[in-house]
Chain A
Amino acid sequence: MAKPLQYVGQGLFYALFFGVIGYFSTWPTYTYLQPDDTLIKLSFAHAAQHKEPCRERTPEELAKLPPLQRKVTTVCPSRERADVVVELEMDGKQLYHVVMPPNGFARSGTSNIYRRIPVKAGVHTLKARLKDHIGEEFNYEHEETVNLAPGRILVIDFKSATGGFVFRNKNTTQG
């Protein structure tokens, strides 16, 4: 092959090789959330109540213990904790339901949750409920009407010490 033709061929090869690289380094664009969609993230860790109730030691029991052991006044027959059950409703329809077992071999740790839930943007009434004991009834509940802007991530957190559910990163709250 003549030299000039070889150079043209080499140029074409490099153009093709780096053309492929240039194209696939950013295109095709990937859309994973439609413009009218948004996300709700359930993200928290919570230690449920023990399966068997703990009790306080009586003064007599404490007196029998060596002085160094008297600081621990609570006695739990088992370390095992109950499952944490979470339900999320949107506009009266169940959006999500999960039963989260506690972590650890002895099932004595926290129950952790992290879920991404895509929903349509707009004004919605959200109701979150949580149960952290072996009984039937939900002992934490929070209902709120929120305006979910497209793409804005509403994070549903839970802190039992501050009263339960917290809706974070809200756009607008109504009611």
Chain B
Amino acid sequence: MTGANSFQVSGYGPERAGWTRLFARDSLARRLDWPILFAALALSLVGSVLVFSATRNRTEINQGDQYYFLVRHILNTGIGFALMIGTVWLGHRTLRTAVPILYGVSVFLILLVLTPLGSTINGAHSWIQLPGGFSLQPSEFVKVTIILGMAMLLAARVDAGDKPYPDHRTVLQALGLAAVPMLIVLLMPDLGSVMVMVVIVLGVLLASGASNRWVFGLLSAGTIGAIAVWKLHILDDYQIARFAAFANPSLDPAGVGYNTNQARIAIGSGGLTGAGLFNGSQTTGQFVPEQQTDFVFTVAGEELGFVGGGLIIVLLGVLLWRACRIARETTELYGTIVAAGIVAWFAFQSFENIGMTLGIMPVTGLPLPFVSYGGSSMFAVWVAVGLLQSIRVQRPMSA
């Protein structure tokens, strides 16, 4: 393995075009993980329908065009899909060499958020407004670069065959690499993203084979840190209020508990098969705020019922199951760590997002991968899918 990319190796050249080539043993098509691709596409398309249902009546945000969000969600999916193809084409190993650049750029971008260029949406100062009405949420990309950067450091000496496990110095370096952007994101403050990053770091460390002491040490440090954050009032009032409302949603049904309450009412009223697409009264009546982004799952719950909500969870399950297999089957630790980091990311973010609409997790501003409306998130998760595909495509086929 020299880092050459399989796109060329498997022979997709114009001079040898043909279906037989495409489906030949060891061809790209045979090596791609189709279930993941299918699940990601299905989630994105379901998402576009749900986003459409949630926004077609919200005249105050859709600029009078009921298809505004639908078109953009499909466009985002298309761009994400292209980014995935690009990632596979480049290959995760090529990207490994580019990690310092990617890391530098993403840290620069989140620093930019802290400057006056950044803007605040829903209490989180985590956006950069771009011309043309677009906005960028760099913390989404940081998740990818943290995974890639840590994997690069942790896997370097193991993949070289020097050591069976990363040593303490390497782990410390990797943690330092993750800590810098996490601290910046915490300053925004974007607590949800920090939570996801903490879980990513944990997943990465677990998969790297780092000593148990590191894993448990980090776990306890996280717990103490959480207590400290709570006690030292580092959190903003709105964040504490969200947690309090999570603990007791009827606390303030008109205020912070409103989201939680309305979300639960929307989902609960769905029943087995839901009210039918575009028929949900909670959705049509716009009782759930942020329904096209963070609370998109409530649309599925209300209008498609247990069947629709369950389908989303199953699709996420398929994606995560396959990603876990990729992590287990690849021969390099680098690929394993990247895949495991992505699994930790997707799993926790999905759990937190759906969990908060179901009232079992506190409300934080996290999108549901593929389903929620939002360009940055969509691009990042599709890049992650590209990385997973690349890891699978480039592993040696078993005999």
User: Is the A/B pair a real complex?
Assistant: no
Interface residues of B (CB under 8 A from A): none
